[in-house]
Amino acid sequence: MDYKAKAYILSIGNELLIGRVTNTNASWLAQKLTLLGYCVERIVVVPDNMDDIVEEFQKALARADIVISTGGLGPTPDDITNIALAKALGRELETNQEALEMLRERYTKRGYPLTPEREKMAKMPVGAKPLPNPVGSAPGILVEVDTRLVIVLPGVPAEMEAIFTEHVEPILRSRGKPYFYREKIIRIKGVPEADLTPILRRALKIDEKAYVKSHPRGIERSAPLVDVHVYASSSNEEETRTIVEKIEQFLVEEIKKTFEQKADITPLS
Amino acid sequence: MDYKAKAYILSIGNELLIGRVTNTNASWLAQKLTLLGYCVERIVVVPDNMDDIVEEFQKALARADIVISTGGLGPTPDDITNIALAKALGRELETNQEALEMLRERYTKRGYPLTPEREKMAKMPVGAKPLPNPVGSAPGILVEVDTRLVIVLPGVPAEMEAIFTEHVEPILRSRGKPYFYREKIIRIKGVPEADLTPILRRALKIDEKAYVKSHPRGIERSAPLVDVHVYASSSNEEETRTIVEKIEQFLVEEIKKTFEQKADITPLS
């Protein structure tokens, strides 16, 4: 896989570690980042604990160009992501005037006072830029660290998605040259995954910009069912499409040749 | 939160990092571990890459008593979790005879030959114990490392869940004394999350075996909606229940006293 830059996702919140909430934020972000040409190196789920969050921000910054966190941006005592980020960067935490203005405007409109709990959401590391929240209160936080970017988003999915789409995606898209991600999935009925292995091994060697992975889907009417996912990413749109199509064609031909009538092949996408 | 021991979940698979698959395995396991009294320290998603998997197994073993991985146990070229685990432990990889017998029995029954790809699933670090897979092919792997346990499960959810329920849960339950997890959720309509903060802060201080966290659920008919989750874990069943009930009662009384008719409180569980 070729890619624009490395990304790291930090998901902050005890509710994820006690299994109360499934991490749909991470898969949503991972898909967006992949489509933009980034390679997501890790998704790490961290508890609402200062030392843990500081540690994971530092680890992520040591390895990735783009670090995106979700969670811990609200007004309650366990919302400490802004403080942890400042500590991780060794920067002072200050009230960001632009963020304070966003909060003041929002609360004035809704008739709520700007209490200390609400003002807390304007506190950001020195040098940060607030990202307006179109559907909730807490602004996101963007910090440049040398050539890297840290992006801190709320945990409420609708807020996270809105800030990302309106304010983060355009920035990530404009960094470096454009990248193109293409994929195909073919479903094979009648051949056990293990018997596809020699063909998959050869398919994996066709182009290093591509990846090929099989996902067993169980047994359907007593015949094994396997989805094979082919995907590639590169800075050349035409090349990316051609690679994926070439590998798909190779798989279909080889599977037909090897298993003949036994294999029932359907392109899924 | 009081707990039996620390746990670490490693989720292995590119499909999670490109956002094609949501990590439901991790939330399923996290919930099970929490109910058994374990504290899940981290969930880490790792690509299908040898160095990354070896590194994360080693990090997990340095910090947790129980390490559970999912994914990378099948017959295809990217299924390398068994090899990575042996490397991480500095142990030889060998064909486990008990695992080979499980595979032979399964494939004989289904009329498939025991090819090298299938035999690969019997390869385990020296000293490992295979965990029978009641619904698929690849056995799980259990390795004791001093007083710690590494448990390696397949990525297919039905197989992971079946091996965990039949073979892992009884082991985890029997380690140390029993633990009890209790929780309550109350839904508050009409009070913004920020205004609940002073009460939440006091609730958090009632008992260190408990945790209290609010989750904003957005706006319903122009009134804010917040779920407050109270949970505790301890080795005393009666005590655990009492703590949670005491905090729930405190929250309900304080919210009623502070916001009177403005707050509409519903116990959700």
Q: What are A106-156's pLDDT values in tens digits? A: 999 988 999 999 999 999 999 999 999 999 999 999 999 999 999 999 999
Question: Is there a contact between B213 and A41 if contact means CB atoms under 8 Å apart?
Answer: no
Nearest alpha carbon to residue B57 among B17, B86, B21: B86
The whole-angstrom separation of Cα B142 and Cα B131 is 7
Structure tokens given for A204: 């994996």
A197 contact residues in B (CB cutoff 8 A): 75-77, 117
Q: Report the residue from B34, B158, B193 with minimal CB separation from A76.
A: B193
Residue B110: the pLDDT is 87
Nearest CA in chain A to B205: A77
Residue B222: the pLDDT is 75
Contact (CB, 8 A) for A175 and A164? no
Residue linked to tokens 């698979």: B13
Residue A220: the pLDDT is 67
For A102, other C-beta atoms within 10 Å of its C-beta total 20
Provide the 3-class DSSP secondary structure of residue A46. Answer: strand
Question: Is there a contact between B17 and A32 if contact means CB atoms under 8 Å apart?
Answer: no
Q: Report the residue from A112, A192, A211 with minimal CB separation from B14.
A: A211
Nearest CA in chain B to A21: B27
Dihedral of CA atoms B232, B237, B243, B248 in degrees, nearest 10, equals 80
Residue A222: the pLDDT is 75
Question: Is there a contact between B15 and A215 if contact means CB atoms under 8 Å apart?
Answer: yes
Per-residue b/e over B89-101, b at no fewer than 16 CB within 10 Å?
A: bebebeebeebbe
A216 contact residues in B (CB cutoff 8 A): 74, 136, 156
The whole-angstrom separation of Cα A211 and Cα A201 is 11
Nearest alpha carbon to residue B138 among B7, B234, B12: B12
Please give the model's pTM, rounded to 2 decimal places. Answer: 0.96
Question: Is there a contact between A27 and B15 if contact means CB atoms under 8 Å apart?
Answer: no
The whole-angstrom separation of Cα A159 and Cα A165 is 10
Please name the amino acid found at residue A143. V
Residue-wise pLDDT tens digits, A184-208: 999 999 999 999 999 999 999 999 9
Contact pairs from chain A to chain B, CB under 8 Å: 172
User: DSSP H helical segments within chain B, as ranges?
Assistant: 14-17, 24-35, 50-63, 81-89, 97-110, 116-119, 157-163, 169-174, 193-204, 237-259
Please tell me what DSSP assigns to residue A168.
Answer: I
Q: Return the biggest CA–CA distance within chain B.
A: 72
pLDDT, mean of each 10-residue run, chain A (269 residues) = 94 97 98 97 98 98 98 94 98 98 94 92 98 95 97 97 98 95 96 94 95 88 89 96 97 96 91
Q: Closest approach of chain B CAs to the CA of A242, in angstroms?
A: 20
Q: Report the residue from A18, A43, A117 with minimal CB separation from B16.
A: A43
Residue-wise pLDDT tens digits, B218-228: 776 678 999 99
B45 contact residues in A (CB cutoff 8 A): 26, 42-44
Question: Is there a contact between B33 and A19 if contact means CB atoms under 8 Å apart?
Answer: yes
Nearest alpha carbon to residue B172 among B146, B156, B149, B145: B149
Say if residue B31 is exposed, middle or buried (CB neighbours under 10 Å; 0-12, 13-18, 19+).
Answer: middle
- CA dist A268 → A34, A187, A235, A258 (Å): 20, 6, 25, 21
A23 contact residues in B (CB cutoff 8 A): 22-23, 26-27, 43
Please name the amino acid found at residue A190. G
Q: Closest approach of chain A CAs to the CA of B25, in angstroms?
A: 9
Say if residue B245 is exposed, middle or buried (CB neighbours under 10 Å; 0-12, 13-18, 19+).
Answer: middle
Nearest CA in chain B to A202: B77
Please name the amino acid found at residue B187. R
For B257, other C-beta atoms within 10 Å of its C-beta total 10
Q: Report the residue from B24, B75, B158 with minimal CB separation from A194.
A: B75
Q: Beta strand pairing status for B129-131 and B6-12?
A: unpaired
The whole-angstrom separation of Cα A194 and Cα A212 is 15
Provide the 3-class DSSP secondary structure of residue B84. Answer: helix
Question: Is there a contact between A137 and B48 if contact means CB atoms under 8 Å apart?
Answer: no
| Ranges in chain B, pLDDT < 70 | 220-221
Q: Is the dihedral of CA B148, B152, B155, B161 positive or negative?
A: negative
The whole-angstrom separation of Cα A5 and Cα A37 is 8
The whole-angstrom separation of Cα A85 and Cα A58 is 9
Residue A42: the pLDDT is 98
User: DSSP H helical segments within chain A, as ranges?
Assistant: 14-17, 24-35, 50-63, 81-89, 97-110, 116-119, 157-163, 169-174, 193-204, 237-259
Q: Closest approach of chain A CAs to the CA of B218, in angstroms?
A: 8
SS3 content of chain B, % helix, strand, coil (to 5): 45, 30, 30
ipTM of this complex prediction, to 2 decimal places: 0.96
